[in-house]
Homo-oligomer: A and B are copies of this chain.
Amino acid sequence: VTEKLTLSDLKRQERDARRQLILDAAMELFSSRSISNVGIRDIAKKAGISPALIYRHFEDRDELFVEAFFKKNEEIITIFERMIEEKEDVTTEKIGESFVRFLMDNDDFFQMMTHFMLDSVMRDDAIEQFNHNMRRLLAGFDSAFESSGISEEVRLHSHAFFASLNGVMITFRSYPGRSEEEIRKHILHLTRFISLKFMK
Contact = CB atoms under 8 A, between A and B. Distances in A.
A179 interface: no
Interface of A, helix, strand, loop or mixed by DSSP: helix
A183 interface: no
B177 A171 contact: no
* Count class of interface residues, chain A: 35 or more
Contact of A164 (B120, B174, B194): B194
Interface string A147-177: 0000000001001101111111011111011
A118 B34 contact: yes
A73 B78 CA distance: 41
A13 interface: no
A6 interface: no
A172 B159 contact: yes
A165 B164 CA distance: 7
Contacts of A70: none
Copies of this subunit: 2
Interface centre among A34, A164, A174 (most CB of B within 10 A): A164
A170 B168 contact: no
A127 interface: yes
A131 interface: yes
A117 interface: yes
Nearest to A170: B117
A173 to B, nearest CB: 8
Contacts of A127: 176-177
A156 B120 contact: no
Interface of A: 34, 36, 114, 117-120, 127, 130-131, 156, 159-160, 162-168, 170-174, 176-177, 186, 189-190, 193-194, 197-198, 200
